[in-house]
Amino acid sequence: MNQEIDIQLPHNITLTVKREDLLHPHISGNKFRKLKYNILQAKAEGKTALLTFGGAYSNHIAAAAAAGKEYGFKTIGVIRGEELVNKIGDNPTLSFAKGCGMTFNFVSREAYRQKTDPVFIEALKAKYGDVYILSEGGTNALAIQGCEEILTPEDDVFTHVCVAVGTGGTISGIINSANPHQQVLGFPVLKGAGLSADILKFAQIGNWQLVEGYHFGGYGKVTPELIIFMNDFFEKAGILLDPVYTAKLFFGVIDRVNKGLFPQGARILLIHTGGLQGIAGMNNELIRKKLPVIKT
Ligand SMILES: *Cc1c(COP(=O)(O)O)cnc(C)c1O
């Protein structure tokens, strides 16, 4: 569903939001797209359990747990941070995943870094049996195939398609399905290089670009300015954003519109990739740090 935003913008520019956050109540946004063909593949392979990886507030962990419950798979989450083992009840994401039936394997940050190492994977298979393994963030070729379904032919009217970038899976699907006249802009939410190379593994050559400068300190980091922007946007447009991905995207796009970095009359489509389950965990942190909280 596309929703045009009624806020005053210069240069005759319009903003429209693709509400992927409304796709499913618990398997949110792009994580639904990324899981869809993987779930079908796991079924085709006769697998009964899904194993995947993530951090304490991971949207992917929440989505994989909910998808397992809905589609009849056991789920195992390899979670970064051993200290979380006694804190599941304090963590909204992990509590939710546990409620969906997910089994956790908490590992140290050092061990977590080996998450793609074949030896580590073999050890997990020895422990949990013949599981279907999804990488961190769920990005693989089948995930890209799912993300190619985000844009539809009706979206050809837009001149620009803007999306938040984590691992680069979602933008790859969008690049592959965009019309050649459209420019795809990715807003990385983390510091550091290597994303373009990851995107090029899955995406065709196309009219796309990464826009740096809107990570707000790095992955999962926020500033009071970002929170104030989110609350203001929610009040004006009635659309709730998540602090890790979509808030940074929307801030970046609106900032660049105001700076005159989009052409006159641009029709911009922003992808709301979901992730709203992360707000509760972020607000706990913000309260602890006595910072402004996200209004919902
Ligand atoms: C995971 C996620 C992204 C990033 O998707 P990638 O495919 O990893 O780039 C963007 N938005 C939300 C809300 C997410 O949960």
Residues 152 and 266 in one domain: yes
**pLDDT value, residue 275:** 97
Does any ligand 1 atom lie closer than 6 A to the CB of residue 144?
no
User: pLDDT tens digits for 121-150?
Assistant: 999 999 999 999 998 888 999 999 999 999
User: Looking at the domain assignment, is residue 204 inside a domain?
Assistant: yes
Q: How far is the CA of 166 from the centre of ligand 1 (A)?
A: 5
Residues 160 and 87 in one domain: no
Q: Which of 85, 106, 138 is the last residue of a domain?
A: 138
Q: How confident is the model at residue 204 (pLDDT cuts 50, 70, 90)?
A: confident
User: In a mutational test of the pocket of ligand 1, which residue from 167, 175, 230, 279 has the highest number of ligand atoms less than 8 Å from its CB?
Assistant: 167
User: Looking at the domain assignment, is residue 171 inside a domain?
Assistant: yes
Residues 170 and 242 in one domain: yes
Q: Which of 101, 117, 138 is the last residue of a domain?
A: 138
**pLDDT value, residue 138:** 87
Q: Is the predicted pLDDT of residue 237 greater than 90, yes or no?
A: yes
Report the candidate in 71, 275, 70, 52 with the shortest Cα–Cα distance to residue 170: 275
Residues 17 and 44 in one domain: no
- Atom of ligand 1 at shortest range from CA of 171: 9
Mean pLDDT along residues 245-257: 98
Q: What is the CATH number of the domain that holds 184?
A: 3.40.50.1100
User: pLDDT tens digits for 275-291?
Assistant: 999 999 999 999 999 99
User: Looking at the domain assignment, is residue 210 inside a domain?
Assistant: yes
User: Looking at the domain assignment, is residue 296 inside a domain?
Assistant: no
Q: Is the predicted pLDDT of residue 169 greater than 80, yes or no?
A: yes
Q: Which of 138, 173, 192 is the last residue of a domain?
A: 138
Does any ligand 1 atom lie closer than 6 A to the CB of residue 182?
no
pLDDT over 70, % of the chain:
100
User: Looking at the domain assignment, is residue 84 inside a domain?
Assistant: yes
**pLDDT value, residue 52:** 97
Does any ligand 1 atom lie closer than 6 A to the CB of residue 140?
no
- Domain with 91, as residue range(s), is 29-138
Q: How far is the CA of 126 from the centre of ligand 1 (A)?
A: 30
User: pLDDT tens digits for 170-179?
Assistant: 999 999 999 9
User: Looking at the domain assignment, is residue 293 inside a domain?
Assistant: no
Residues 128 and 164 in one domain: no
Residues 100 and 168 in one domain: no
Q: How far is the CA of 88 from the centre of ligand 1 (A)?
A: 23
Residues 33 and 111 in one domain: yes
Instruction: Please state the domain count of the chain.
Output: 2
User: Looking at the domain assignment, is residue 294 inside a domain?
Assistant: no
User: Looking at the domain assignment, is residue 208 inside a domain?
Assistant: yes
Residues 188 and 263 in one domain: yes
User: What's phi and psi for 183, nearest 5 deg?
Assistant: -100, 130
Instruction: Give me the active site residues, please.
Output: 58
Residues 177 and 95 in one domain: no
Residues 108 and 216 in one domain: no
Q: Global pTM?
A: 0.97
Residues 39 and 54 in one domain: yes
Residues 33 and 73 in one domain: yes
